[in-house]
Chains A and B, each alone.
Chain A
Amino acid sequence: MPAVSMTVNGKAVRAEVDSRTLLVQFLRETLRLTGTHVGCDTSQCGACVVHVDGVAVKSCAMLAVQAEGAEVLTIEGVATGEALHPMQEAFRQNHGLQCGYCTPGMIMTALDIVRRKGHELDDQTIREELEGNLCRCTGYHNIVKSIAAGARAMASGDPALKAAE
C-alpha cells in the first residue's frame, strides 16, 4: 500500500492507505476526524467539503494520495481552541443549522466564498455560491443569513458582536 503524508489542521500526518482511498475516508477512518461528513456518492451534497491548500474541495472527489504534501483544513481545525471562528459563531447566532449534518461542509464552503467574494455578500450571491451544498432541514434561509453575518464579522475581527446582529 502506498504511504501518504500531509498536514491536517496544522499537524503532520503520515499513513499507509489503499490507493483507492478517498480523502474523506482517510480523514474519517484513518485520522478519526469525523466532523467531515458523507451525504452522497455523486459529489453533490457538499457535506464533505474541506480546504486543501486553502481551497474548498469535496473530499469525496479526491483520492487521499492526491493530497500528498498538501495542507488540509477540516472543520475540527477552524476554531482556535475554545474560541469559535466568526463564521461558526454566525451559524450559532443565526440558527444556521438544525440536524448539523451538512453544517461542517456549509461552514467550510462559506469560508471559501468569503475568500473569493469578500466580506459584503448579498443574498443572491450566497445562494448561487451554495450550488454545491445541500441542506434538508433549514430551507437555506438561516444559512444564507449566517454566511452574510459571518463574512462581515470576519472583516471586523470581532466574532461575538458582529455575528450576533
Chain B
Amino acid sequence: MSVTGIGAPVRRKEDFRFITGAGRYTADIGLPGQVHLHFLRSTHAHARITRIQAGHASRMPGVLAILTGADIAADKLGPLVCGWMIHSTDGSPMKMAPHPTLPIDTVRYVGEPVVAVIAERPDQARDAAEAVVIDYEELPAVVDPATAQRDGAPQIHEIAPRNAIFHWQLGDAAAVDAAFKQAASVTSLDIVNNRLVPNAIEPRAAIAEYDPGTESYTLWNTSQNPHVARLVLSAFVGVAPEHRLRVVAPDVGGGFGSKIFIYAEEVVTLVAARRVHRPVRWIADRSEAFVADAHGRDHVTKAEMALDRDGKILGLRVKTIANLGAYMSTFSSSIPTYLYATLLSGQYAIPAIHCAVDAVYTNTVPVDAYRGAGRPEATYVVERLMEVSARRLGIDPAELRRRNFITSFPHQTPVIMSYDCGNYAASLDKALALADYAGFGARKRESEARGKLRGIGLSAYIEACGIAPSQAVGSLGAGVGLWESAEVRVNPTGSVEVLTGSHSHGQGHETTFAQLVSGRLGIPIESISIVHGDTDKVQFGMGTYGSRSGAVGMSAIVKALDKVEAKAKKVAAHLLEAAETDIVFENGKFTVAGTDKSATFGEVALNAYLAHKFVGADLEPGLKEGAFYDPVNFTFPAGCHVCEVEIDPETGRVTVARFTAVDDFGVVINPMIVEGQVHGGIAQGIGQALMEQVVYDEGGQLVTGSYNDYVMPRAADFPLLAVDTTVTPCPGNPLGIKGCGEAGAIAAPAAVMNAVTDALGTEDVPMPANQLTVWTVLQRAARQQAAE
C-alpha cells in the first residue's frame, strides 16, 4: 500500500478550502446585477385558488416581476415528472397526476409554491410577497395514508380515485400462503416507518443566468446530479434545449437524497432569469426547506414471518402503504417498490416472500429518496421481525440470525436480487466481539442497580447499492440508464484531470478518486484534479446517490485509465524505440522489458503531445481517454450493527450507551472517509429511531416546520461509535467496491428499536422512541400492572 494509493487514510484534498472559508457553495456565488426571487407558498393543505392580486405588490420598490402558474403555462413548459414507471398488479400504469411548476387553480399541500416575486434585493422580494393576496376556497384535506385510501376520502387528483397511485406486488403469494400453513410459529408486527426531513445543513439554492445573445442558460444549483437535472429540465420541462443549458453544481453542502430531484424552484428561477434579463438567485430559508425539499420514508406496514420448529424462516408476508405526498417526485415510485421489496430477504435464506405495496397521494410534501431510500424500511421490517421472533421462541437473537444466514453465493432471493458475495457470520461475530455481547448481562445488572433499564438490539442488514445495471433497472421501469462516465486527461506536463459524472457533496471524491489515479499512474496525488459537477466540462453523468460513486463512478475511471495506459504504452514504444509488446508500466515508469531503457510517466505524457517520434503516423497525438461503465449487478454491502440503550424509567429518556457497527463494504479505498460515512449514517439512523418525526395536524398543517419543532440529532445524543469492517471483495466491479454511504442509516433504526423494546419488555413502541413516547409506554405498562 502506497501512502496515497488504495487503502490509505489520505487526508482530504478538499478540506483546505472548507476549513478556511474558501468553499464555493451556490449561495456564495455573486453575479454582477443579480436579483432575488422569493416564493409565496400555500398556507392551505388543499384549496382552490380563486384569485391572485399582485397589482399593488408589483409596484413596490425594487420589484421586477411577479410570476404565477398562468405565466409558466403561457411559456408552455411541461410539468414536473416522475422518472420511474411502476405498473399495478392489474397491468395499469401508475397514476401520475400532472405536477405543474406553479399551480394554476388548486394547491395540494402546505408550502406548495404559488407565486414568485423577483426584486432587486431579497428584502424587497419578501416585502412584496407579503403584499400579494391569494384568495383560496378551502377543500377538505387528508394527510394519513390509510385514511386517504378509504371511500369518501378527499380526492386530491382527478386521475387517482381513492388517491391510489398504484397497487403493486412482488413475489409469490401462493408459495407464501403454503409456507405459512407449514409454520410452527408466526410473528406479526404492525410497523410505522416515520416520515423524516433530510435536512442537509446547506439549504437548497439556485442562481440562473440567461444570455440573450446565444439564447442559452446557466443554472448553478445544489444538485447531486447536474446532468440528470439538465436532461429533465430540457427534455421534459422544456426550459431550454440541452445544448443551451449549462447546469453547475459547485460545492454542495450535503444531500442525503434531497438534492437528487428536479424541483419547481429551479424551473421558476430559470424562467425568471429570461424574463428579467438579469441573473436571478433563490436561496431557501430553513423553514422553507421543510416544505420545499422532498421528505423521506412514511410507510405503514403489516408484516408477518413464518418459522418452523427450529427457527428457520419459511416465509415472509408484507403489506405496505406508502405515502408519496401530494405529487409524485422525481424517483418517488421506485423507493417503496424496487428499492424496498427487493431487499426483504435480508441476509437470510427465505424460500417464499410476498410484498404488496399501495402508494397513495395525501395533502403533504412529496416523498422521495432519503439516505437509504427503501432499504432502511426493508431492514426495519426484517430485523424487527427477527428480533421479536427470537424473543418469542426463546432463542438468542444472534443465534436465530445465524441459523438463517445465506452461506453460499451467488444466492438468488425470491424477490429479484441475486447476491454476489458476502460473509454474514463474519460480520456478526466481529460485531458481537466488538460490542462485548457476552458482557451485556453484567452491564444490565449494573444499570438495574442504578434504577435504570438496559436493552440490547442487533440489526444484520443488507442493501443493494452501486445502482445499477442499466438493463436491469430499465426492465423494472427506470426512465434512465444508471451507468457512469469518466474522462482522464493527461496534460503535457504529466498532471492529470479526471472528469467524472459522479458528484461529491461531502463524500470526499476529490481525494478517493485521486488515490485511485495516483496508485495506478504512480504520480503524486497533488498532480491530480478531480473535476465534477459542471455539464460544460463533464459530458454526461448520472450523479451520486445509492452509494454508487465508488462502485460505478470509480469503475468508469478504471476503464478510462486502462485506455490511457494502453495509449501511453504505444507512445513509450515510439519514444524508447521498442516494440509495444515489450513495454512494461510499473510505479509510474515505462520500461522496455529486459533492458534498462525507461521513461517516466511525465516524459511519455510530454511526448504524446510533442508527437515528434510518431513515425508511421498510426498514432494520434495527445493522451486523453473516456469511458462509460455499466455494472453487471447491484452490489450488496451488508453487516451487523449492535445498539445498547439505557432508559430512565422515571423520565422515559433513552440514552444510547454503546453503538457498534461492523460493515462489509468490499474493498475500501480510504478507511478514514469510509468510517466518517458510517458515523454520519448511524447518526441519521439513531435520529430516526429516537428523535426525528414529521408531524402534520389533521388539517394538513405542518407542525414540525422548523428546528424549533423537528428534533435534529446533536453531539450530546451520541456515544463514541465503535466502527470496523470485514471484507469480501465485490466480484462485480474491477475494484471490488460495494459502497458505504447509506449503511448507517439503513442498519441503525432497527438496532436501536430492538434495544429499546428489549429494555422496555414490550414490542409495541413506535419510532421515534422519544422521551414522551417511552414515558407513555412505561405509564401504560404501570397501569396494566396495577389493574392485574
B21 touches A42 (CB 8 A): no
Task: Determine the chain B residues whose CB is within 8 A of the CB of A131 once the complex forms.
Answer: 714-716
Interchain Cβ contacts within 8 Å, total number: 186
B21 touches A139 (CB 8 A): no
The smallest C-beta distance from B225 to any residue of chain A, in angstroms, reads 16
Task: Determine the chain A residues whose CB is within 8 A of the CB of B200 once the complex forms.
Answer: 99, 101, 136
Task: Determine the chain B residues whose CB is within 8 A of the CB of A133 once the complex forms.
Answer: 715
The answer to whether the Cβ of A138 comes within 8 Å of any Cβ in the partner chain is: yes
Task: Determine the chain A residues whose CB is within 8 A of the CB of B507 once the complex forms.
Answer: 98
Q: A35-B20, A98-B507, A100-B18 are in contact. Are A144 and B672 (CB under 8 A)?
A: no
The smallest C-beta distance from B34 to any residue of chain A, in angstroms, reads 10
Q: A84-B19, A136-B684 are in contact. Are A99 and B202 (CB under 8 A)?
A: yes
The answer to whether the Cβ of A135 comes within 8 Å of any Cβ in the partner chain is: yes
B78-86, B209-217, B704-712, B724-732: which one contacts chain A?
B704-712
With both beta carbons as reference points, the residue of chain B lying nearest to A130 in the complex is identified as: B715
Partner among B506, B706, B716 whose Cβ is within 8 Å of the Cβ of A137: B506
Task: Determine the chain A residues whose CB is within 8 A of the CB of B675 once the complex forms.
Answer: 95
B201 touches A102 (CB 8 A): yes
A79 touches B286 (CB 8 A): no
Task: Determine the chain B residues whose CB is within 8 A of the CB of A45 once the complex forms.
Answer: 201, 286, 707
The residue in A38, A140, A142 that gathers the most chain B C-beta atoms within 10 A of its C-beta is A140
Task: Determine the chain A residues whose CB is within 8 A of the CB of B256 once the complex forms.
Answer: 136
Task: Determine the chain A residues whose CB is within 8 A of the CB of B25 once the complex forms.
Answer: 34, 37, 101
The answer to whether the Cβ of A74 comes within 8 Å of any Cβ in the partner chain is: yes
**A26-65 interface bits toward B, Cβ cutoff 8 Å, 1 = contact, 0 = none:** 0011001111111111101101000000000000000000
The answer to whether the Cβ of B164 comes within 8 Å of any Cβ in the partner chain is: no
The smallest C-beta distance from A163 to any residue of chain B, in angstroms, reads 11
Partner among B11, B253, B677 whose Cβ is within 8 Å of the Cβ of A92: B11
Q: A18-B123, A123-B720, A136-B199 are in contact. Are A42 and B706 (CB under 8 A)?
A: yes
The answer to whether the Cβ of B251 comes within 8 Å of any Cβ in the partner chain is: yes
The answer to whether the Cβ of B7 comes within 8 Å of any Cβ in the partner chain is: no
Q: How far is the CA of A93 from the CA of B18 in the complex (A)?
A: 13
Partner among B283, B680, B707, B708 whose Cβ is within 8 Å of the Cβ of A139: B680
The answer to whether the Cβ of A126 comes within 8 Å of any Cβ in the partner chain is: yes
The answer to whether the Cβ of B666 comes within 8 Å of any Cβ in the partner chain is: no
Q: A88-B19, A103-B19 are in contact. Are A41 and B715 (CB under 8 A)?
A: no
Interface residues of B (CB under 8 A from A): 11-12, 14-25, 27-28, 30, 123, 199-203, 251-254, 256, 283, 285-287, 505-508, 672-673, 675-677, 679-684, 706-708, 712-716, 718, 720-721, 744
7 interchain pairs, CB-CB under 8 A: A35-B22, A37-B202, A76-B22, A99-B254, A134-B201, A136-B254, A139-B713
Known: A40-B706, A100-B14, A136-B256. 5 other contacts (CB 8 A): A75-B19, A76-B22, A99-B254, A104-B19, A136-B199
Task: Determine the chain A residues whose CB is within 8 A of the CB of B679 once the complex forms.
Answer: 138-142
A95 touches B27 (CB 8 A): no
The smallest C-beta distance from A124 to any residue of chain B, in angstroms, reads 8
A141 touches B19 (CB 8 A): no
Q: How far is the CA of A78 from the CA of B50 in the complex (A)?
A: 55
The smallest C-beta distance from B720 to any residue of chain A, in angstroms, reads 7
Q: A18-B123, A139-B679 are in contact. Are A42 and B201 (CB under 8 A)?
A: no
| 3 A-B pairs with least C-beta separation | A35-B21, A100-B18, A101-B253
Q: How far is the CA of A95 from the CA of B713 in the complex (A)?
A: 19
Partner among A42, A88, A97 whose Cβ is within 8 Å of the Cβ of B707: A42
Task: Determine the chain A residues whose CB is within 8 A of the CB of B19 once the complex forms.
Answer: 75, 84, 88, 91-92, 97, 100, 103-104, 107
Task: Determine the chain A residues whose CB is within 8 A of the CB of B14 once the complex forms.
Answer: 100
A41 touches B506 (CB 8 A): no
Q: How far is the CA of A130 from the CA of B17 in the complex (A)?
A: 23
A92 touches B12 (CB 8 A): yes
Q: A78-B20, A92-B12, A140-B715 are in contact. Are A101 and B202 (CB under 8 A)?
A: yes
Task: Determine the chain B residues whose CB is within 8 A of the CB of A144 once the complex forms.
Answer: 715
Partner among B203, B681, B706 whose Cβ is within 8 Å of the Cβ of A39: B203
With both beta carbons as reference points, the residue of chain B lying nearest to A18 in the complex is identified as: B123
Task: Determine the chain B residues whose CB is within 8 A of the CB of A130 once the complex forms.
Answer: 714-716
The answer to whether the Cβ of A127 comes within 8 Å of any Cβ in the partner chain is: yes
The residue in A75, A76, A126, A133 that gathers the most chain B C-beta atoms within 10 A of its C-beta is A75
B16 touches A92 (CB 8 A): yes
The answer to whether the Cβ of A115 comes within 8 Å of any Cβ in the partner chain is: no
B20 touches A88 (CB 8 A): yes
The smallest C-beta distance from A145 to any residue of chain B, in angstroms, reads 9
Within 8 A of B (CB), among A119-158: 123-124, 126-128, 130-131, 133-144
Q: How far is the CA of A103 from the CA of B15 in the complex (A)?
A: 10
The answer to whether the Cβ of A20 comes within 8 Å of any Cβ in the partner chain is: yes
B714 touches A134 (CB 8 A): yes
The smallest C-beta distance from A36 to any residue of chain B, in angstroms, reads 7
Task: Determine the chain B residues whose CB is within 8 A of the CB of A84 once the complex forms.
Answer: 16, 19-20
Q: How far is the CA of A102 from the CA of B254 in the complex (A)?
A: 10
The smallest C-beta distance from B369 to any residue of chain A, in angstroms, reads 16
Q: How far is the CA of A39 from the CA of B202 in the complex (A)?
A: 6
B715 touches A95 (CB 8 A): no
Q: A33-B21, A91-B19 are in contact. Are A98 and B254 (CB under 8 A)?
A: yes
Task: Determine the chain B residues whose CB is within 8 A of the CB of A20 once the complex forms.
Answer: 123
Partner among B28, B682, B684, B715 whose Cβ is within 8 Å of the Cβ of A34: B28
